[in-house]
Amino acid sequence: MTRLMDRVAFITGAARGQGRAHAVRMAKEGADIIAVDVAGELPAFVPYEPATPEDLEETARLVEETGRRVITAVVDTRDHDGLSKAVDHAVAELGRLDIIVANAGISSPRAWNAITPGEFRDVMDVNVTGTWNTVMAGAQKIIDGGRGGSIILISSAAGVKMQPFMIHYTASKHAVTGMARAFAAELGKHSVRVNSVHPGPVVTPMGSAEMVEAMGKAADADGLHGLMNVLTPFLPTWVAQPEDIADAVCWLASDESKLVTAQAISIDQGSTQY
C-alpha cells in the first residue's frame, strides 16, 4: 500500500468521521498528514456534538501507528490567516504538499421558513468560505513543489441533487461543486487536479440520531414527509462507512486518477440518479 508514498496530505475536519478516515487511509498508503480541525464549539443550532482536541489527538495516534508523520492544528477553517499559518508551519516541517482534502463542514435540518439569517450565514461560511480558505492555504504550495497534485473538495449528495429541509446546506454544497470545477480550470496548467466527492448518508456524527430526529421535526413542521425519501438508493446498503468514502478520496489523491479532474464523484448508492 504505497500509492501515496512520501507525499503530504492536508485534511480539514480530521478529528473524527470522514476526515479521520481520509487521514488514516492516506497514511496507510504512505502519506504524511497535516490534520486540522476546529475541535471545539460549533454554532448552537448544529444538533450533534462537536469534535474535541482529544479526538484530534486520536487521529494523530492512528496515523502514527502506520509509521507516518502527522502534524495537527486546532483551527477554524473560517479563519483564513490562522489556517494559512498552520499550513505554512506544517509544510516547513514536512517539506512539501501534494494533496488537499477540504472535508470540514456543518449541517442542521430546518424547514425553509425556520432558517435564520445567522444560521444561513454560518453554514455558508463554514462549508463554502471554509472550503475556499482551505484551498487557498495550500494550493500555491502544491504548485511551488512543481510535481502537480490533487485537491479534493468534499461536497455531498446535496451538491448533486438536493437535501430536503436543508436549503442552506444544499446551497453550500452546490457551491462547493462549482468551486471544484472552477479551481480545476485554473490549476490544471500546473498539473493540479481538482475534483468534488459527493457522499450520501455516512455513519458519522453528522449522520447521528440527533440529526435524524431534527430532520423528522422539520418534516413534521412542513407536513412533507414524502421528501424524506428523495435520496432513496438503488443498492440495499442505505448508509456508507467513512472508510468507504476514504477509498474514493484516496484514489483521487493517487496517480491512478491522473487524468481525472473537474469531476463530481458520487458515492451515494445511486440515490442522486432519479
Residues taking part in catalysis: 169
185's grid cell: 480550470
CA atoms within 13 Å, Cβ hemisphere of 195: 23
Q: How far apart are CA 22 and CA 92, in angstroms?
A: 22
Among left, alpha and beta (phi > 0; psi -120 to 50; other), residue 197 is beta
Q: With the C-alpha atoms ordered 153, 158, 159, 160, is the resulting torsion angle positive or negative?
A: positive
Parallel/antiparallel/unpaired status of strands 99-102 and 8-12: parallel
- Give residue for cell 461560511: 125
Radius of gyration of the chain (CA): 18
- Give residue for cell 448518508: 201
218's grid cell: 422539520
Contacts 24+ apart (CB under 8 A), 36-39: 36/10, 36/11, 36/12, 36/72, 36/73, 36/74, 36/75, 36/77, 36/83, 36/86, 36/104, 37/12, 37/13, 37/72, 37/74, 37/75, 37/104, 38/74, 38/75, 38/76, 38/77, 38/104, 39/15, 39/74
Q: How many helices (DSSP H) and strands (DSSP E) are in the chain?
A: 8, 7
